Structure 1
Amino acid sequence: MLPHAGPPVLYCAVIGSPRRPLHPPQEKHAMESGQTLLIIDDNAQTIHLLTSLMEGQAAVHFAKGGLEGIQLAKTLRPDVVLLDLDMPARSVPPGMSGLDICKQLKGDLLTRDCAVLMVTGHNSDATELAAMRAGAVDVLARPLHGPMVQMRVQTQLTLQRQAAALHKLGHLDGLTALFNRRYFDTQWDVECRRHRRQNQPLGLALVDVDHFKPFNDTYDHLQGDDALNRVGQSLQSTARRPGEVVARFDGDEFAIIIPYASAENLVSLGDRICDSVEGMALPHASSDTAPVVTVSVGLVSGVPADDDSGQRMLDLAVQALQRSKSQGRNRAVASMSDR
C-alpha cells in the first residue's frame, strides 16, 4: 500500500506526467522479466509520484529511511534504486545522507550491481559529481519531468537486462547449458550470507550419476555427453521452486542450491530427483544398480551461522552423498547442519 501523501511539496511536482506509461511493449517486457525497482525517500508525496511514474515498468517497492532501504535492497536485490540524495538529518539513522546510502549499496556484495539513480533538488555540477563518485549512474533533478524520469529508468532497466544476459552466458556450462561451477561458488556464497542475515535454513543437494565411467566405456563419450544433458534437464525440471539454482558441479556431478529449505522439502526434493532420473529409462547395461541411468543424492540443510558455514555445509553434503552410494545408490540421504 502506498503511503498517504502529506502537505503539498512544491519541489516534488512532476512536469508533464503522462496518463499512461510510456513505451508499453518495453514496460511489458520489463514486468515479464521480473525486474524490481526500489524507491528510498523520506517524503511520502515523492514516493507516491515516483511509484505512479514507474507503474508497469517494474515491480516497485519503497522505504522511507536509510537503514530500512539498505536492508530491503539486500533482500530484494533490485535492478534499479531511486534514491533521495537530499535526505535530511532527521532520516534513520540520523545523519545518513543519500550519498552515504549509495556508498553502502555499492559496497555490499548483495547490492553492488543495482543501478542507483539519485533524486535531488540541488542541480549543479558539484552535486552530480558527488553522486557519481558515490556510485550513482544518473541524477534526476527536481522538479521531476515525468517522461524524462521514465525514459532514464527504462534505459537502466534495459541495461540491467542486457548485463544479466551477458553475465549468464559467462556462467553457463558449455555442455549442459546449466550454470557452471564458478557461478555456483558465487551464488552459494551470496545465499549463505542472505540466509544467515535472515536466520533462515538453506539447503544444498549434490547429485552424482551412478556408474558413469562404465557408461562411457560401454557406449561412447558422445552418448555419455547426451546422458549428462538428459540428467541436467531432469534436474532443471525437478528443481522449480523460486530461487533454486541447478549447476554442473564437476564432471558427472551436479549441485542444487535450495533457498528456505525445510527438512520436509529437502527429503521430498531428493526423492523426486531420483524418481525423475530413473523415470527417463535411459539404458545403462553396465550399471550394478539398475538397468537404467540412476543418480545418488546427498543433501544438507541448516541456517548458516558464520563465514565458514558454507564450506561446512558443502562438506556435509559430500558426506551424505558418500553415504547414499555406500547404501546402494539410486537414493537420497540427508544431513542437517549443526550451524
Structure 2
Amino acid sequence: MNVVEFQKVLVADDDAVNREVLGDLLKPEYTVLLARNGAQTLERAARHLPDLILLDVLMPDMDGHEVLRRLRDDPQTEHISVIFISGLNRPEDEANGLKMGASDYIIKPFNPTVVMARVALHLQVLRQRRMLERLANIDGLTELANRRRFDEMYALEWQRARRSGRPLSLALLDIDAFKQYNDRYGHPAGDRALRSVARVAGAAMRRPADLAARYGGEELVLLMPETEAADARRVIAQLVDTVAGLAIAHEASNVAPVLTVSVGGATLHGDSGEQQSELFEAADAELYRAKQAGRNRIAWRERVTLQT
C-alpha cells in the first residue's frame, strides 16, 4: 500500500480562533503545525522544516516581519516559503512584506477559498521545483546520483568529517573489461549491464547519508559517512559478490566468465587538512592496485590521515 506523505504547513497566529479556522481548513489536504507566537514559530520551523508558513504579521513580542527576517538568516530555514496573513491592508504594507521575502500576502479577514487556492499554488510550485532539482542531480542512464550531486555531497561530508573527526569512507568501482563487453555484446547490452550494476550499488547504500553515484563511463563512486574501514569493506565485499552473482555472461573477459567489478576504497580519519582530494586520490590509487592485482577484488587503505 502506498503511503501518501502530505506537505507540511505551519500556521503561526497569536489568535486562537484564526489558528483553529486555518488548521481545520488545511488539515484535509496537508499536515498542519500550529504556533501561537514568533518564538514558537522559529522553533517549530527549525524542528519540522515545513514546506510553507502562513505567518501573521501582527503578533506580540516578535512580529511577523522579525520572524521572517530570522527565518531568512538561518541557513536551515531560509528557503521555506512564507505567506503573510495580515489585517494591514494598505498597498504599501503588502509591498513591504513582499520586498522582505514573503512569497504572498493575504489580507484579513481572509476568504477560505482564496487561502486554499494560494496555498495549493505555492505548494505545487514547490513540488515542481523539487522535481526539477532532483532530475538535475540524477544520471539519466543509471538513475543514480550524477557527478554534480556527488561533488556537492562529497564536499559537505568531507567538511563534516574534518570538523567532527568521524570517519568517512569512499570507494571507486569500475566494471572489469567493460570495453571488451561493449565490443562483444554491443552498447545497448553494455547499458543494460551498467544499469544492473548500478542497481546493486544503489541497494548497498542503505543509510540516508550514504550515496551511490555515477562518476563517469563505467565508474561508480560510493560515499559512506561515519563508516569505519571494516564496515565499509563488508558492504563493498557483499556488493562485489552480488554483482558476480548476477551471472551476466562476459565471454570476452580475461577475469571471469561473468561480469565482475574492481573496487578501491579508503577511509578518512582526522580533524584537520587542506585538500579534500586526498581521500579521493587514495581511493583511486587503491582501485589501480585492485586492477593490477588481477581485478574482481577490493583494495582498501584503512586510514587516510589528513596532514595540516
Q: TM-score if structure 1 supplies the norm length?
A: 0.67
| Corresponding residue SS for 1:157 | helix
User: What's the C-alpha RMSD, in Å, of the aligned pairs?
Assistant: 4.2
Correspondence 1:223 to 2:189: yes
Q: Could you tell me how far 1:79 is from its partner in structure 2?
A: 3.2
1:254 match: 220
Instruction: Choose the corresponding residue for 2:67, options 98, 121, 124.
Output: 98
Task: State which drifts further: 273-282 or 198-207.
Answer: 198-207
Instruction: Choose the corresponding residue for 2:51, options 79, 96, 104.
Output: 79
Q: CA 1:134/1:230 → structure 2, altered by over 3 Å: closer, same or farther?
A: same
Is 2:11–2:32's contact at 8 Å kept on the other side of the alignment? Answer: no
Correspondence 1:139 to 2:105: yes
Superposed, 1:159-198 pairs within 5 Å as 159-189=125-155
Is 1:88–1:97's contact at 8 Å kept on the other side of the alignment? Answer: no
Q: In the alignment, residue 101 of structure 1 is paired with which amino acid? A: R
Correspondence 1:39 to 2:5: no
Q: CA 1:269/1:195 → structure 2, altered by over 3 Å: closer, same or farther?
A: same
1:231-285 Cα offsets, whole Å, 9 max, x none, are 1222233334435443211111112344664666533432232122111111223
Is 1:37–1:82's contact at 8 Å kept on the other side of the alignment? Answer: no
Q: In the alignment, residue 80 of structure 1 is paired with which amino acid? A: L
Instruction: Choose the corresponding residue for 1:280, options 246, 250, 254.
Output: 246
Is 1:40–1:65's contact at 8 Å kept on the other side of the alignment? Answer: no
Q: CA 1:139/1:171 → structure 2, altered by over 3 Å: closer, same or farther?
A: same
Structure 1: tracts of 5 or more residues without a match: 1-28
Is 1:118–1:136's contact at 8 Å kept on the other side of the alignment? Answer: yes
- Alpha-carbon separation, structure 2, partners of 1:61 and 1:331: 51
- Alpha-carbon separation, structure 2, partners of 1:159 and 1:252: 36
Instruction: Choose the corresponding residue for 1:55, options 27, 52, 62.
Output: 27
Q: CA 1:146/1:321 → structure 2, altered by over 3 Å: closer, same or farther?
A: farther
Correspondence 1:207 to 2:179: no
| Corresponding residue SS for 1:291 | coil
1:17 match: none
Q: TM-score if structure 2 supplies the norm length?
A: 0.72
- Alpha-carbon separation, structure 1, partners of 2:20 and 2:234: 44
Q: In the alignment, residue 149 of structure 2 is paired with which amino acid? A: Y
Is 2:42–2:71's contact at 8 Å kept on the other side of the alignment? Answer: no
Q: CA 1:329/1:202 → structure 2, altered by over 3 Å: closer, same or farther?
A: same
Q: Which has the larger radius of gyration?
A: 2
Q: Could you tell me how far 1:144 is from its partner in structure 2?
A: 5.2
Q: In the alignment, residue 225 of structure 1 is paired with which amino acid? A: D
- Alpha-carbon separation, structure 2, partners of 1:327 and 1:83: 63
Correspondence 1:128 to 2:94: yes
Q: Could you tell me how far 1:337 is from its partner in structure 2?
A: 5.7
Matched pairs, number: 300
Q: Could you tell me how far 1:293 is from its partner in structure 2?
A: 1.2
Q: Could you tell me how far 1:320 is from its partner in structure 2?
A: 4.3
Is 1:57–1:154's contact at 8 Å kept on the other side of the alignment? Answer: no
Q: Could you tell me how far 1:121 is from its partner in structure 2?
A: 4.2
Q: CA 1:199/1:61 → structure 2, altered by over 3 Å: closer, same or farther?
A: farther
- Alpha-carbon separation, structure 1, partners of 2:44 and 2:87: 20
Is 1:296–1:331's contact at 8 Å kept on the other side of the alignment? Answer: yes
Q: CA 1:126/1:267 → structure 2, altered by over 3 Å: closer, same or farther?
A: farther
- Alpha-carbon separation, structure 2, partners of 1:253 and 1:208: 5
Superposed, 1:109-128 pairs within 5 Å as 113-128=79-94
Q: Could you tell me how far 1:139 is from its partner in structure 2?
A: 2.5
Q: Percent of aligned positions with the same letter in both sequences?
A: 32
